[in-house]
Amino acid sequence: MNRSYESRRGDSLRSLIAGAETVLADAGVPSPRHDAEILASHLLGVRRGDLVLAPELPDDFSCRYAELVECRRRRKPLQHIVGVQGFRYLSLHVTPGVFVPRPETEVLAGLAVDEAKSLAQSGTPPLVVDLCCGAGGVALAIDTEVPDSTVAAIDVSEEAVWLTRRNNAELGTGTMRIESGDVTDEALLADLNGSVDIVVSNPPYIPPGAEPNDPEVRDHDPFLALYGGGADGLTVPTATIRAAKRLLRPGGMFAMEHADTQGEAVRALLTVNGFGGAVTLPDLSGRDRVSTGRIPGAARHR
């Protein structure tokens, strides 16, 4: 293949991506260049970085690419178009009807991973529960990054449970316990009462009057995964805290994501429910989004 042909092919791809970027920017898509390149790499079956090599374009590429760009222009989530979302070291399948994992939640996962690693290194294989697991990103991060851990992933949504099982089948160690369950049910995981080392959760927490601004969230993420119930959005988070109190052993850690306006209220809920050392930590954007606490008492070895 001569260089002039390769150059024309590269120019054609660059032109299509530049055009897509303009279309997406005009539609208010927050990251138009990124999304235009991801859509092109997805359609070509290559990594985004490989686009600089000007891969050969199928005859129908421009037409199919235009269709994907139009979907994104209409603010269909990028993850729903390409079917995957990166989360820490994982590439998770995502589907409509299940909350799309967010990069901010990697902070929550990191706290649980670090705690699990510390326990594993001390000779205590950690037992971890992920309540409201969604697509399974946090649970699978712990499962894969701390293979000595035993992880249980729970969600009230049957679609989320199905998706977590799918992701686990492709990515996990094969030891995860994945079940449908409601955090308000006092019998949930009753066989683990008082024995869990870490409970982690990204529950629904949006108050009823705080409609998300982004169409991708407002129009596509499931209501069940967004709104926490009650006037303050903290009905489900409160139930999650109480479930964690029941499940955790003395010295066990709880970490939960919440809205950046709820830190003070969540710390108060942790304290009133018997947790010590409640603190709120920032997410990747510097907003107060994760609160943690521990059950008082010395850690016990299982």
Question: What is the H or E stretch that residue 270 is in?
Answer: helix 263-272
Rg (CA), the chain: 22
Question: What stretches of 31-60 show up as alpha helix (H) in DSSP?
Answer: 32-44
pLDDT in tens, the chain (302 residues): 444 434 445 558 888 999 999 999 999 998 999 999 999 999 998 888 878 777 788 888 989 999 999 999 999 889 899 999 999 999 999 999 898 898 889 999 999 999 999 999 999 899 999 999 999 999 999 999 999 999 999 999 999 999 999 999 999 999 999 999 999 999 999 999 999 999 999 999 888 877 777 776 776 677 777 768 888 899 999 999 999 999 999 999 999 999 999 999 999 999 999 999 999 999 888 889 999 999 998 665 44
CATH topology of domain 3-74: Helicase, Ruva Protein; domain 3 (1.10.8)
Residue 205, marked binder: yes
**How confident is the model at residue 197, as a pLDDT?**
97
Helix then strand then coil, in percent of the chain rounded to 5, is 45, 20, 35
Residue 204, marked binder: yes
Cβ-based neighbour number of residue 23 at 10 Å: 17
85-294 in CATH: which number? Answer: 3.40.50.150
Candidates 155, 196, 228; CA nearest to 294 is 196
Residue 282, marked binder: no
Instruction: Write out the residue limits of the CATH 1.10.8 domain(s) in the chain.
Output: 3-74
**How confident is the model at residue 131, as a pLDDT?**
98
**How confident is the model at residue 228, as a pLDDT?**
81
C-alpha 29/C-alpha 96 separation (Å) is: 19
Candidates 159, 106, 115; CA nearest to 249 is 115
**How confident is the model at residue 13, as a pLDDT?**
86
Instruction: Write out the residue limits of the CATH 3.40.50.150 domain(s) in the chain.
Output: 85-294
Q: Is the pTM of this model over 0.85?
A: yes
**How confident is the model at residue 11, as a pLDDT?**
52
**How confident is the model at residue 93, as a pLDDT?**
95
